[in-house]
């Protein structure tokens, strides 16, 4: 009964969140101040990391970021946007944190040769934030932990108890990985829409992820155990979404000519 009461309390605290651009309803527990945590993490990264002094790199990222931020608009209300380049030429990556904090590693700028490709990446990372994927992952983890506690308390037979826990762990692990792949696909969709509305060609997503696929050659992790969609699936999805995204770009680019 105590375990059931705990679950009911957790569910009572949860709320529903509608993801911008997709309309998907997400189940989220209000357990973390995402904006404060994001700002604190970003400040820590700037202190411990090597912020780029390259004027051209910083101007490029801030210019593209400003247009993406304008396209995001009310999807991230109250954002205090900040765009920082970290001088790590071997790191091909970028990230965004709640509150509008965006970091781009200089290694990514080598692969994202055009502003449209850079906009795709930044839109993707910001899409994770506006969809509140981090908060959803925390919620999933907490609910999985509660389920494990209930199962542990409810099983009295040692043999069946151990078997059930192993099965439960495998099931939860698989579902969390699948959930992460779903988040990556959703961020792809949201990201190309942000880039398109900022006047950047969404078709650059296909060329960029082709380059990233080449960068990642040699990985032995199979697609079903990866936290990212397979290259073929990602490409197919992007091509499927282009009839929606390209008209947004065609309309928006006139403002930036």
Backbone angles phi, psi at 17, to 5 degrees: -125, 130
Choosing from 34, 82, 117, 125, which is the catalytic residue? 125
Residues 112, 24: Cα–Cα separation, whole Å: 30
Both tokens of 92, joined, read: 């091909």
| CA 187 to chain CA centroid, nearest Å | 6
Closest CA to 208 of 114, 105, 126: 114
Active site residue 125: yes
Dihedral over alpha carbons 186, 78, 118, 21 (to 10 degrees)? 30
Closest CA to 107 of 118, 86, 94, 91: 91
118 neighbors 112 (Cβ within 8 angstroms): yes
Q: Which residues are catalytic?
A: 125
């Amino acid at each position: 009964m105590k375990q059931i009461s705990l679950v009911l309390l957790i569910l009572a605290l949860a709320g529903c969140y509608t993801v911008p651009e997709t309309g998907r309803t997400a189940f989220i527990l209000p357990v973390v101040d995402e904006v404060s945590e994001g700002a604190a993490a970003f400040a820590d990264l700037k202190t411990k990391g090597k912020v780029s002094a390259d004027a051209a790199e910083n101007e490029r990222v801030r210019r593209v970021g400003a247009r993406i931020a304008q396209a995001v608009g009310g999807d991230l209300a109250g954002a205090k946007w900040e765009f920082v380049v970290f001088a790590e030429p071997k790191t091909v990556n970028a990230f965004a944190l709640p509150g509008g904090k965006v970091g781009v590693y200089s290694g990514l700028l080598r692969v994202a040769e055009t502003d449209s490709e850079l906009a795709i990446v930044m839109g993707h990372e910001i899409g994770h934030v506006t969809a509140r994927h981090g908060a959803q992952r925390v919620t999933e983890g907490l609910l999985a932990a509660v389920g494990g506690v209930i199962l542990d308390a409810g099983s009295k037979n040692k043999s069946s108890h151990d078997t059930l826990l192993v099965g439960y762990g495998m099931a939860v692990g698989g579902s969390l990985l699948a959930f992460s792949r779903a988040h990556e696909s959703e961020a792809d969709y949201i990201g190309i829409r942000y880039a398109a509305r900022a006047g950047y060609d969404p078709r650059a997503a296909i060329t960029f992820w082709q380059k990233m696929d080449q960068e990642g050659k040699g990985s032995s992790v199979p697609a079903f155990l990866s936290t990212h969609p397979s290259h073929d699936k990602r490409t197919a999805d992007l091509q499927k979404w282009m009839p929606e995204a390209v008209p947004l770009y065609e309309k928006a680019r006139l403002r930036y000519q």
